Amino acid sequence: MNLKNYLQLALACSISVVATAQKKSSYKDLNGNRPEPNVVLLLTDDLGWQDVKCYDIDQPSPYETPNLDAFAQKGVQFWQAYSPAPTCAPSRCAIMSGTHPARAQKTHVVGGAPPTTYANKNIQRIMDPWYSGRMPENEMTLARALQQKGYKTGHAGKWHMAINHFAYPQPLDQGFDISTANRGATTPQKPHRLTDFATYKASDPYRLDENGFPYHQNSQDALKFLKENKQDPFFLYFATFLVHAPIHTRSKALLEKYCKKLGVDYPTDPKKWTVEGQSNPFYCAMVEMLDYYVGQVFTYLETTDDPRWPGHKLSENTYIIFTSDNGGMEKHPGEIITDNYPLDKGKINAKEGGTRVPLLIAGPGIKKGIQSDVVVNGLDFYPTILSLLDVDTPKNKHLDGDDLSNLLLKDPTDAKLVLDKTGKERTTMMWHFPHSSYQSTLRVGDYKLIRNYDYKNNPRTPQFELYQLYKTTNGTAKRVDIEEAKNLASAQPKKTQEMNAQLTAILTEMKASYPSYNPSNKNEMEHKETVPSVTSTSKKKNEVTFTFKEHGAKIAIANLMYTKNGGHRYEEWFKLQAKINSNGTVTVTLPKGTTHYILNLIDEHNFLVSYPEMPTIKGLRSLKKQYSDFALSAK
């Protein structure tokens, strides 16, 4: 090595050391006596981008969120923040594990079931792939990583990171010291939502407080954790049940207030609300209740002395992240809930309305009153929190998000401070939702590509959609088409193909699973008649052989679907690739403990054949049966 190269290397190393030292001391004050920071991760349920007043654009929102609006002025308000997925469970798992839903094979709620159609095999064109019902029980969650570094870890509220709300594994299995899950005031009213309102009676479990808001155990559990654990560095994951359905409020005064404000009649039908837009008074009341309860947390942190840092309040040494698990749920049968306009669609769709969410972050060292156009994601929370707390990434832990700490502590408006795994400015972000709307999407800079999977013989759905959301100049994003209304795919075929190839590369690296076509549907679909069939099966100990016959289409993939707890209330299925042999057979070894199994064959045209054939999801529910009742027994 010559002298010039040596000096360059030494300079680079010294810069790295200084940067590391600066990062290591990011939470220390000038006297070096500042204790480890705390973290409050406040994750709301189904709160849309346009449901918080400070995010108002175009027509003003009727929702009143004074506490959140005030909190936005105490830190950074992100205008282009996204959830990892357009539904609850995959976003929650991704945030807590740091693993992208596509990589984790956890892309939708529930999961852990063999692929089948939902209600009518003759009509449904496409089927969801298998996807996991939960995070692995040994996942190195954010909570576990902090717990191992001496943090007191608490969860209050919703979990839903397993096949059922209360199925294994639960928070205490995933790194939390304390966990509570009381629904509080969101417990459904009986017999319906126009009755059973809270009162001021001392005997009322939802008694109204001095401000007229119902007692809410969920928020009280969060406050209790803070009160009882402030003597230690703490991580609170406060997962609200608000503002998820059922859409109702125990505050009759709030319901009446919003009926008056909206200019709508007081509801008489407890089951329906069909007024378009942000005009549902029940939902308006829920949003204001959410704001009130999270405001109690903000107030407690701002007014409570820090026992570990005399002379200071808890808020001075606590990072607070407020966001939502997905975009707003616009409607369900019989009821219009909210409207994400100008964003298109909502929850259960990978368009902007389903994935863009409010995000407010404040804490020590973060400038106040900043509005940022930098594109960020809930996947970024894990590496960011570790960095802000000076906690090393756990050994062998892969994180799909990127560290936002430099962005937050230096200049929240400078996208160049968010670096990807190669050390370059991050310019891409991907979502994979092979369910319901059947889409994968990729954002590169100001452009967004949507790849639709249910496009064959489907004139209503193009294979690709390309939108220019913004035109960004010097860090300032000028709105172009956040409505996703002008599809540029035909006008810009080269860009479309380049982005599609990039999307394919990302999904391939993550080993993502894709939806398949249903050969039983009665619609006209090319190659439907050429799907293979299974003619026989045999089992010798744990070795299973399936004999198949091809009818024109080659088998591309053979998957064994198996369960180890067939017949259990939380019956859970897993996937294992089987071997396709040249003699017309598929062979596979059943994993130890298998109780029931099924074979899935996917042919070269992406049609899926199940053996034995599974009933529809709706049919299974009506029969009150489980998949194991129709599968092959391993006994």
Chain-centre distance of CA 7, in angstroms?
47
Q: Are residues 510 and 550 in the same domain?
A: no
Query: pLDDT tens digit string along 402-458?
Result: 999 999 999 999 999 999 999 999 999 999 999 999 999 999 999 999 999 999 888
Say if residues 580 and 82 touch (Cβ distance below 8 Å): no
Count the alpha carbons within 13 Å of 571 in the hemisphere toward its beta carbon: 18
The domain that holds 434 is classified in CATH as: 3.30.1120.10
| Overall size of the chain counted in residues | 635
Query: pLDDT tens digit string along 75-84?
Result: 999 999 999 9
**Residue 609 domain flag:** yes
Q: Are residues 550 and 500 in the same domain?
A: no
| pLDDT average, residue stretch 605-629 | 96
Q: What whole-number distance in Å separates Cα of residue 438 and Cα of residue 449?
A: 14
| pLDDT average, residue stretch 55-62 | 92
Q: Residue 537's pLDDT band (boundaries 50, 70, 90)?
A: very high
Tokens for 481, please give them.
């088409």
Q: What whole-number distance in Å separates Cα of residue 377 and Cα of residue 100?
A: 11
- pLDDT of residue 459 exceeding 60, the answer is yes
Q: How many domains does the chain have?
A: 3
What is the number of other CB atoms lying within 10 angstroms of the CB of residue 20?
10
**Residue 104 domain flag:** yes
- pLDDT of residue 315 exceeding 90, the answer is yes
- Lowest mean pLDDT across 1-10, 46-55, 624-633: 1-10
- pLDDT of residue 13 exceeding 60, the answer is no
pLDDT number for residue 348: 97
Query: pLDDT tens digit string along 21-40?
Result: 334 445 554 346 889 999 99
Which long-range contacts (C-beta less than 8 Å, at least 24 apart) are formed by 298-303?
A: 298/67, 298/70, 298/71, 300/223, 300/226, 300/227, 301/40, 301/226
CA-based nearest residue to 469, from 554, 617, 344, 383: 344
**Residue 29 domain flag:** no
All residues at 6 or more sequence positions from 288 whose CB lies less than 8 Å from its CB, including other chains? 63, 64, 65, 254
| Distance between first and last Cα of the chain | 68
Q: Are residues 101 and 77 in the same domain?
A: yes
What is the number of other CB atoms lying within 10 angstroms of the CB of residue 266?
11
3-state secondary structure 602-622: EECCCEEEEECCCCCHHHHHH
Local structure of residue 282 (DSSP, 8 states): H
* Cβ density class 307-344: b for 16+ within 10 Å, e for less: ebeeeeebbbbbbbbbbbbbbbbbbeeebbbbbbbbbb
CA-based nearest residue to 92, from 46, 161, 180, 36: 161
Cβ burial, residue 536 (10 Å; 0-12/13-18/19+): exposed
pLDDT number for residue 481: 98
| pLDDT average, residue stretch 347-376 | 97
Q: With pLDDT > 90 as the criterion, what percentage of the chain qualifies?
A: 91
**Residue 540 domain flag:** yes
pLDDT number for residue 32: 64
Query: pLDDT tens digit string along 363-373?
Result: 999 999 999 99
CA-based nearest residue to 516, from 619, 615, 610: 610
Picking from 483, 517, 551, the residue at the C-terminal end of a domain is 517
Say if residues 571 and 626 touch (Cβ distance below 8 Å): yes
Q: Are residues 497 and 580 in the same domain?
A: no
Residues 145, 147, 152, 153: is their CA dihedral positive or negative? positive
Q: What whole-number distance in Å separates Cα of residue 108 and Cα of residue 133?
A: 9
| pLDDT average, residue stretch 336-357 | 97
Expressed in percent and rounded to 5, the helix, strand and coil fractions of the chain are 25, 25, 50
**C-alpha dist (Å) from residue 74 to 50, 364, 409, 510:** 20, 10, 14, 37
DSSP string, 562-604: EESSTTSTT--EEEEEPEEPTTSEEEEEPPTT--EEEEEEEET
- pLDDT of residue 473 exceeding 50, the answer is yes
pLDDT number for residue 329: 98
Which stretches does DSSP call E strand in 84-137? 126-127
Taking all residues of the chain, what is their mean pLDDT, rounded to a whole number? Answer: 94
Q: What whole-number distance in Å separates Cα of residue 369 and Cα of residue 351?
A: 29
DSSP string, 420-435: -TTSSBP-EEEEEE-S
The amino acid occupying position 518 is N
- pLDDT of residue 18 exceeding 80, the answer is no
The domain that holds 618 is classified in CATH as: 2.60.40
Q: Are residues 412 and 467 in the same domain?
A: no
Q: What whole-number distance in Å separates Cα of residue 617 and Cα of residue 132?
A: 16
Query: pLDDT tens digit string along 564-588?
Result: 999 999 999 999 999 999 999 999 9
Q: What whole-number distance in Å separates Cα of residue 576 and Cα of residue 571?
A: 17
Q: Are residues 489 and 543 in the same domain?
A: no
CA-based nearest residue to 481, from 489, 491, 469, 490: 469
Picking from 402, 420, 438, the residue at the C-terminal end of a domain is 420
Query: pLDDT tens digit string along 508-518?
Result: 999 999 999 99
Q: What whole-number distance in Å separates Cα of residue 195 and Cα of residue 288?
A: 20
pLDDT number for residue 14: 41
**Phi and psi angles of residue 47, each rounded to the nearest 5 degrees, phi first:** -80, 120
Q: Residue 476's pLDDT band (boundaries 50, 70, 90)?
A: confident
Q: What whole-number distance in Å separates Cα of residue 590 and Cα of residue 576?
A: 9
Local structure of residue 6 (DSSP, 8 states): H
Please state the pTM of the whole predicted model: 0.93
**Residue 8 domain flag:** no
Domain that holds residue 463: 430-517
Q: Are residues 351 and 415 in the same domain?
A: yes
Q: What whole-number distance in Å separates Cα of residue 538 and Cα of residue 599?
A: 12
Q: Are residues 444 and 512 in the same domain?
A: yes
**Residue 4 domain flag:** no
Picking from 485, 517, 549, the residue at the C-terminal end of a domain is 517
The domain that holds 302 is classified in CATH as: 3.40.720.10
**Residue 22 domain flag:** no
Q: What whole-number distance in Å separates Cα of residue 119 and Cα of residue 3?
A: 73
What is the number of other CB atoms lying within 10 angstroms of the CB of residue 155?
28
Query: pLDDT tens digit string along 267-299?
Result: 999 999 999 999 999 999 999 999 999 999 999
**Residue 80 domain flag:** yes
Q: Are residues 297 and 222 in the same domain?
A: yes
pLDDT number for residue 475: 78
Q: Are residues 241 and 216 in the same domain?
A: yes
Q: Are residues 436 and 404 in the same domain?
A: no
Q: Are residues 350 and 216 in the same domain?
A: yes
